[in-house]
Amino acid sequence: MSQTNWAYTDAVKEHFMNPKNILMDEENYQEDGKGVTGNVKCGDEMIVVIKVNKEKGIITDCKWKTFGCASAIASTSVLSEMVKGMKLEDAYNLSARDINKALGGLPEHKIHCSVLGDKALRLAINDYYLRNGMEDRVKKEEERVVCQCMNITDQEIEHAVLEGARTFNDLQEMTKVGTGCGECTEEVMQLLEAYQNKHFCEV
Amino acid sequence: MSIRAIYMDNNATTPLHPEVNKEMVEVMDVFGNPSSLHTFGRQARQLVEQAREKVAAFIGAMSEEIMFAGSGSEANNTILSALTCQRKQCHYHVQGAYEVITTTIEHPCVLETSKCLQEQGVTVLYLDVDEHGKVNIDQLRDLITESTGLVSVMMANNEIGTIQDVKAIAKIVHERGSLFHTDAVQAVGKIPVNVQELDVDFLTLSAHKIYGPKGIAALYVKKGAPFCPLIRGGHQERGRRAGTENTLGIIGLGKAIEMRAQEMESDAEHLLELKGALRRGIEENIPDVQFVGHPTDCLPNTLNVTFDGAEGEAIVLYLDLEGIAVSTGSACASGSLDPSHVILATGLSAECAHSSIRISLGRENTMEEVEYVIDTLPRVIGKIRDMSTVYRRRRR
């Protein structure tokens, strides 16, 4: 039987079948930073660890593990390849959209799974800063501006979701996000879904 | 190397039985409206009534007690929705018996309709199940009152295969003068079901779970039992379900039932043998597994198993790439992020519920296929556990 109707793209399938950079020897891995996110009770959990070239501020290695679905596996696999050789700041600013693009697109209801990897990566980068006396470089998750036009952060979007926003229109009404150039629309949609899942996962 | 195609998701749906296929192709050109008086109509009517007789005979009912519907979901909706009927002559209205008792492990078509009833003011009570998915019968005794209009308990569960003691439940329900419905979509055609022996008032069965076509189901309504149609506007099905009959589907259902009558017993033996081999193979080759469902009172084809630390959707998709089709929980739940309500109801954790898969065998499966699954599964589970955040941590 052919597999032509696979719900995911070839890139997703390849990273799913042959995931790269899995953290096999967790006990003996000498990481410079570690990030853990998700909740097994909600059906997914992610650990990302990084090694850093301290002189250059570059990520030299990235490994991961997950209790997650095909999308989480594929997106973190591709992410772990992307960040090697990348500056810490650049890696920190990678968004779910960048990963989604590298994978050629994920089914809409699966995008929330793909944010686990980059979230854990940001936590790992912050962890590296903390371990190396660079508290000043630690970025709080909520400080990331998503909508440049209206200067809306992801924390504000999260708040709006907690206040009942369920659609992009709800978010626009409540925060004015994406009412400028509209460039952030896709990422806001991903955040909307991610926050809904984070806060309203029925267990 | 040719890619295999092993179908082990028969509780989601089944392939057409070759005999059903043949029969349906033969009657494909029967287009007459069964309600028409002319030759064309009478020809269709005759075939529809022959099918009705086969369905009735198979479950120990009379033909006039069988009503065809578009799906098991429709049939279940029909029975439950009657509770909110406000017509003066409606049984529930007359009796003032508006309460419903059902269970926590029903199919979503029962649970969602129950929720809808609650929103319309009907009290709905949910019976718990034990670790094997058996309904708490003592709780039923405690909860049932003269206000209970209907009790609905599924005969066999779609996700874990557990079979309820429907006869004992029906007895309690009737002692309190209430009505009893059972969703037997997963049971009829897999295990012996006789409506007289079980003493049920309403029973739902479906064609596509038993090698018949999709889009056709039947509802048994005991003679004299109160009934309120969901779909109005025609005299079809003795006024119980308006709409021109799905002639082709009905004939397909009749043939599927006829084949079940011939093959159910031998199929059950075959399936039990395969399931036993599968279970042993999994137990012997994969550590940290747990089987969900009743050890003996279980459908012969259904095996639900949790693989500690391995996420269910990943298992399903890796197996799919190996040519094996199984599912997480129920097919209806695919795409949903919530863990299976059935697994949770048995008392297992959400994590376990996220780690479970359902293997539902069918008449076409072979021992060779089972062996291939046993050969493939350990590698797939091993791979997923290698990248699992929870598996090795716990094993340390």
- For chain A, the domains span 8-139, 141-203
In tens, the pLDDT along A42-53 reads 667 899 999 999
Which chain A residues are within 8 Å of B321, Cβ to Cβ? 3, 13, 17
Q: Does A56 touch chain B (CB under 8 A)?
A: no
**What's residue A5's pLDDT?**
59
pLDDT tens digit sequence for B158-178: 999 999 999 999 999 999 999
Beta bridge partners of B151: B101, B180
pLDDT digits (tens, 9 = 90+) for A16-39: 999 999 998 888 999 999 999 877
Do residues B322 and B303 lie in contact, with contact meaning Cβ atoms separated by under 8 Å? no
Instruction: Count other Cβ atoms within 10 Å, centred on residue B96.
Output: 10
Q: State how far the Cα of B183 lies from the Cα of B105, in Å rounded to an integer.
A: 11
Q: Which of A33, A38, A65 is nearest to A49 (CA)?
A: A33
- Interchain CB distance below 8 Å, B354 and A46: no
pLDDT category of residue B394 using cuts at 50, 70 and 90? low
Strand-pairing partners, residue B152, are: B181
Residues of A in contact with B339 (CB under 8 A): 43, 203
Best mutation target, B306, B313, B395, to test chain A (most A CBs within 10 A): B313
Does the structure show a pLDDT above 70 at B145? yes
Which B-chain residues 244-263 have CB contacts (< 8 A) with chain A? none
Mutation target vs B (from A21, A67, A199; most B CBs, 10 A cutoff):
A67
pLDDT digits (tens, 9 = 90+) for B234-284: 899 999 999 999 999 999 999 999 999 999 999 999 999 999 999 999 999
For B16-54, the DSSP string reads PPHHHHHHHHHTTT----TT-SSHHHHHHHHHHHHHHHH
pLDDT tens digits, residue range B366-383? 999 999 999 999 999 999
**CA–CA distances in Å: residue B163 to residues A167, B34, B128:** 42, 37, 15
Angle between helices A111-131 and A70-82 (to 10 degrees): 40
Q: How confident is the model at residue B388 (pLDDT cuts 50, 70, 90)?
A: very high
Q: What's the mean pLDDT when you consider all of chain B?
A: 93
Band the pLDDT of B191: cuts 50, 70, 90.
very high
Cα–Cα distance for residue pair A172/A150, rounded to 1 Å: 11
Per-residue pLDDT band for B200 (boundaries 50, 70, 90) equals: very high
Residue B30 pLDDT:
97
| Domain A8-139, CATH among 3.30.390.10, 3.40.50.2300, 3.10.580.10, 3.90.1010.10 | 3.90.1010.10
For B218-254, letters b (16+ CB in 10 Å) and e give bbbbbeebbbbbbbeeeebbeebbeeebbbbbbbbbb
Cβ–Cβ under 8 Å, residues B301 and B10: yes
B389 touches chain A (CB under 8 A): yes
Which residue does chain B place closest to A112, by CA atoms?
B337
Domains, chain B, with CATH or none: 6-14+264-395 (3.90.1150.10), 18-259 (3.40.640.10)
Query: What was the pLDDT predicted at B333?
Result: 44
Long-range contact pairs involving B41-48 (C-beta distance under 8 Å, separation at least 24): B44/B245, B44/B247, B47/B247, B47/B250, B47/B251, B48/B245, B48/B247, B48/B250, B48/B251
Q: Which of B349, B386, B393 is closest, CB to CB, to A22?
A: B386
What is the pLDDT, as a whole number, of residue B39? Answer: 97
Which structure tokens are listed for B361?
Answer: 């065998």
Query: What confidence category does residue B384 fall into, taking pLDDT thresholds of 50, 70 and 90?
Result: very high
Task: Tell me the catalytic residues of B.
Answer: 332
Q: Which of B302, B353, B294 is nearest to B326 (CA)?
A: B302
Nearest residue to B164 via CA among B148, B181, B142, B143: B181
By the CB < 8 Å criterion, does A203 face chain B?
A: yes
Cβ pair B102, B124 in contact under 8 A: yes
Amino acid in the structure at residue A149: C
**Which A residues in the span 64-103 are in contact with B, Cβ-Cβ below 8 Å?**
64-70, 73
Distance from CA of B377 to the nearest CA of A (A): 15
Mutate to test the interface with A, among B318, B337, B393 (most CBs of A within 10 A): B337
Give the model's pLDDT for residue A151.
Answer: 79
- Tell me: the pLDDT tens digits for B310-363? 999 899 999 998 999 999 875 444 445 678 899 999 999 888 898 999 999 999
- Give pLDDT, residue A149: 79
Contacts of B320 in chain A (CB under 8 A): 3
- pLDDT score of B91: 67
Assign residue A21 a region (left: φ > 0; alpha: ψ between -120 and 50; beta: otherwise): left
CA closest to A27 among chain B residues: B393
pLDDT at A159 over 50: yes
Choice among A62, A69, A113, A184 that is catalytic = A113
User: Considering CB atoms only, which of A13, A68, A197 is closest to B311?
Assistant: A68
* A67-114 per-position pLDDT tens digit: 888 888 998 999 999 999 999 999 998 877 788 888 887 766 666 667
- Answer whether B72's CB lies under 8 Å from B205's CB: yes
Q: Which pLDDT tens digit goes with each residue over A103-148?
A: 887 766 666 667 788 889 999 999 999 999 988 888 776 567 888 7
Rounded Cα distance, B212 and A60, in Å: 58
pLDDT-derived band of residue A180, with 50, 70 and 90 as boundaries? confident
Say whether residue B339 is in contact with chain A using an 8 A CB cutoff. yes
Contact call for B313 and A70, based on CB within 8 A: yes
B286 within 8 A of B352, measured Cβ to Cβ: no
From residue B36, give the alpha-carbon distance in Å to each of A67, A94, B322: 60, 68, 52
Contact A37, A96 (CB under 8 A): no
Please tell me the number of Cα atoms within 13 Å of B211 on its side-chain side: 23
Residue B141 burial (10 A CB sphere; 0-12, 13-18, 19+): exposed
Distance from CA of A181 to the nearest CA of B (A): 32
In chain A, which residue's Cα lies nearest the Cα of B336? A109
- pLDDT of residue A4 exceeding 60, the answer is no
Domain A141-203 sits in CATH at 1.10.10.1100
pTM: 0.86
Rg (CA), chain B: 22
Closest approach of chain B CAs to the CA of A149, in angstroms? 33
* Residue B1 sits at the chain A interface (C-beta within 8 Å): no
Candidate from A1, A42, A67 with C-beta closest to B389: A67
Cβ–Cβ of B314/A69 closer than 8 Å? yes
| pLDDT interval class at B92 (50, 70, 90) | low
Tell me whether A180 touches chain B (CB under 8 Å). no
